[in-house]
Amino acid sequence: MTLKFLLVDDEAAQVQLVRLALQRWRSPYDLHVSSTAKEARAFLNRAGVHAEAPKVHIALVDLHLPGDPGFSVLKEIKDNPELRSIAVIVLSTSAAETDVAMAVGLHANAYLKKPLSWLEMEQLFDALETFWRLDVRFAMSDPVVIHHRCVPASFSAQEPVSVAISPEADRR
């Protein structure tokens, strides 16, 4: 199965890093990119020039976009029964408690601080691929914990970081 992503980010460098990280995958994937929340919502709803857009499996959403914030994309996905099964991973430079709380309140499947280096981005996408392959292979309904050593530069612990991602977060 080909995993379909929608990356919602207006930073060209970040888009390029995600493209490079995905090129390392062993699993087939398609990446679609929107640089604004408005464009992302049109893509998701197959409106206008996006009438033939595929339904994506995972939306990687930056919060700080020109115009409407990324929260509006998250809300659109989780409020729409036809889109609700899309896993939303917030990828943001913000670690503000208010942003995390709002994303969780809107039913984001995961909230991750944008990696600061290529190595961290690479490790993040390796963990994401591992999770996806486990989820598809075993059709898990319980939360999965992935252990990896992708540690932000500001984090001093030497233990592996546990990232809990729930495939059921989209069901209310």
CATH number at residue 95: 3.40.50.2300
User: For residue 172, is it within any domain?
Assistant: no
Q: How far apart are CA 61 and CA 55, in angstroms?
A: 16
Q: Where are the beta strands (DSSP E) in 9-121?
A: 29-34, 58-61, 87-92, 110-113
Rank 77-86, 110-119, 122-131 by mean pLDDT and report only the highest: 77-86
* Residue 101 counted as domain residue: yes
Q: Which domain holds residue 83?
A: 3-165
Return the SS3 of 58.
Answer: strand
- pLDDT score recorded for residue 133: 66
| 156 pLDDT more than 70 | no
Question: Domain for residue 171, yes or no?
Answer: no
Position 75 scores a pLDDT of 96
pLDDT digits (tens, 9 = 90+) for 25-76: 888 889 999 999 999 999 999 999 999 999 999 999 999 999 999 999 999 9
In a domain, 170, yes or no: no
Q: How many domains, the chain?
A: 1
| Residue 151 falls inside a structural domain | yes
Q: Does some domain include residue 32?
A: yes
Q: Is-contact 95 101, C-beta < 8 A? A: no
